[in-house]
Amino acid sequence: MKISRPMARRQFVLGGLSAAAFVAAPARAFAATPFPERPLTFICPWPAGGTADRSMRVICQIAARELGQPIALENRAGASGMIGTKALASARPDGYTIGQVPISVTRFSQIGTVQIDPLKDLTYLTRTSGQTFGIAVLASSPFKSLRDMVAHAKAHPGALSYAHAGIGGATHVGMEQFAQAAGIKFNSIAYKGGAAALTDVLGGQVDMLADSSSWAPYIESGKMRLLATWGETRTPRFKDTPTLRELGYDVVVEAPNGIGAPKGLPPAVEQRLREAFRIAVNSEEFRKVAESIDAPVMYQDGPDYRKYVQAVYKQETELIRKLDLKALMEKG
């Protein structure tokens, strides 16, 4: 995979206070610990304006209040989130550079598209939230249910197409897991992002969309139909839509992300950051934003989050072999 040069966009997240307010912050805000003594940088590995960017900004606003220092959010998008993740792992381990860690780093590191070891090169601070993935079709589609679609796919192997946000990403891997479980074959069409995939499905150029909740407003407006979601349980916003597991396919994809830092963080600094982001992730402010973008809150503290990443890494080793993902990546 060709990785383009990082595109950085930097904005201060002041936690709801003015810059002047931080300058004049009470001495007690800094007395408990020498960290932090200056603003922090938060690397968001996704474009500005997207759902991930929006949720991370809210978390940073709350954490900034807890830390008594502003947090400058930098968007370093590209390579399915791996450009920003690589930059995070390469930063100085002093606690002043932190960022979002996509769980897909466990897959891409093994495929070879990002040269870091997620088990050794990162400090894990907190797991934040998952995503609501699903399979959507136009309202005019002949498929009224997932059963209808599967029956057609079995009768016409490889004829049905689906759009997804990139080879090796959660939407591609999840759809291929489902196809294997159902004993069917699709025509997979990769895009550079979910927005482009959605556009072509809405235009009738592709049969189905496999994505996180970009389809939500179109489902609610009646322009699209949701055949199934991929979580452990039904999503509250679309409670009438069954999960893949309910329909007999043992496939669950929630792709929870988290917040991390470079390896080698001083223990006291790590503890301070874990506490600030624990408060942020469990806040009512973040819960409301998470609900609005169909992102179930899935908090875990740093040590448990690290164990989760280790478990996912092992699962991905088998999944890469089962789906022959390295070969798919090479084909592009």
Q: Render pLDDT for 51-78 as a digit per residue (tens, 0 to 9).
A: 888 899 999 999 999 999 999 999 998 8
Is 24's pLDDT higher than 70? no
Is 310's pLDDT higher than 90? yes
Q: What is the pLDDT of residues 224-243, one digit of tens each?
A: 999 999 999 999 899 999 99
Q: What CA–CA distance (Å, rounded) separates 15 from 22?
A: 10
> Other C-beta atoms within 10 Å of 331: how many?
7
Spell out the domains of the chain, with CATH numbers in brackets.
Answer: 7-130+256-322 (3.40.190.150), 137-252 (3.40.190.10)
pLDDT, residue 7, reads 45
Question: For the residues of 67-130, what is the DSSP string, one character each?
Answer: HTS-EEEEEEE-GGGHHHHHHHHHS-SSSSEEEEE-TTHHHHHHHTSS---TTTSEEEEEEEE-
Q: Which residues pair with 259 in a beta bridge?
A: 100, 126
In a 13 Å sphere around the CA of 200, the CA atoms on its Cβ side amount to 20
Q: Which of 30-34, 80-84, 223-227, 318-322 has the lowest mean pLDDT?
A: 30-34
pLDDT, residue 209, reads 97
Query: What is the residue-averaged pLDDT of the chain?
Result: 89
